Amino acid sequence: MDLIEIHLDGGRDAYLPGETITGSVSWQFDAPATGIDLRLFWYTRGKGTQDVHVVKAQQFDAAGTGGRRNFRFVLPEEPYSFSGKLVSLTWALEAVAQPGDRSARRELVVAPAGREVVLGTDVP
């Protein structure tokens, strides 16, 4: 059984822009991996063309059949996580084992007050 997990320190999934995100990636595979690529990125979904932008990446070499490695990323000041009627922007961490298609994704919120900005609503 192949398993990759992304663990965030404190169990959080919402962060402020510029904040540091720390955690670990763990894996257990039937066949060894030569490495694990961890990517911090944002993507859009909704109407129109999907945009994807990798902001930072870290590689763990000689991953083997199992292990756990720590990571640390400083989040950028923008763009904010937002949701609108036509398009949304979502932040995520994704761990991908090489070679193969073994992967895990964990979605995040990066926005002021640690809450996704909802477009088209009145904010007091």
- pLDDT tens per residue across span 67-123: 999 999 999 999 999 999 999 999 999 999 998 789 999 999 999 988 999 987 655
Burial 53-73 (b: 16+ CB within 10 A, else e): eeebebebeebeeebebebeb
- pLDDT tens per residue across span 9-45: 999 999 999 999 999 999 999 999 999 999 999 999 9
- Spell out the domain ranges in the chain: 3-110
The predicted model scores a pTM of 0.90
Which residues, at least 6 apart from 10, have a Cβ–Cβ distance to it below 8 Å?
none
Q: Which fold has domain 3-110?
A: Immunoglobulin-like (2.60.40)
